[in-house]
Amino acid sequence: DAGVIQSPRHEVTEMGQEVTLRCKPISGHNSLFWYRQTMMRGLELLIYFNNNVPIDDSGMPEDRFSAKMPNASFSTLKIQPSEPRDSAVYFCASSLHTYEQYFGPGTRLTVT
C-alpha cells in the first residue's frame, strides 16, 4: 500500500497566484481530511469528506479556500488568490469509516 500521496511536496508561489494541492487517499478509505499546520496555530482541520461528500468545512479560513473530491481516489485543495499568511504545511489524511487516520507527507507552501 502506497499510503496517502500528496503533490506537490513543496510549492513556492507569489501572492495573488492560485495554488492547487492534490491528494490521493489510501485505496478503500472513505473519509478524507485536509489539515493545515503552522507554528502559531498547530494542526487545524480545514475540511473533511465522507464518501466524497463534504461533511464539515467550518475550518476553511476564507472563501479563498475551496476543496473538491470528484471521486474516491482524488481530492484538491485550492487557494485563490494566495496570501503570505497561507504559508504552512498542508496535510491530507484518510481513514476508513473515520477510525484511525493516516496522514500523507504534506505539502509545504510558501507564499511570498
Partner 1 sequence: KQEVTQIPAALSVPEGENLVLNCSFTDSAIYNLQWFRQDPGKGLTSLLLIQSSQREQTSGRLNASLDKSSGRSTLYIAASQPGDSATYLCAAPKAAGNKLTFGGGTRVLVKP
Work out the burial of residue 86: count CB atoms within 10 Å of its CB; fewer than 13 is exposed, 13-18 middle, 19 or more buried: buried
Task: Output 53 or 62, the one with its CB closest to partner 1.
Answer: 53
Residue 16, SS3? coil
102 in contact with partner 1 (CB under 8 A): yes
- Which residue among 20, 59, 66, 87 contacts partner 1 (CB under 8 A)? 59
CB contact at 8 A, 35 and 23: no
**Size of interface with partner 1, in residues (CB under 8 A):** 23
- Which residue among 56, 83, 84, 112 contacts partner 1 (CB under 8 A)? 56
Q: Residues in the site for partner 1, rule: CB under 8 A?
A: 31, 33, 42-45, 48, 50, 55-56, 59, 91, 93, 97-106
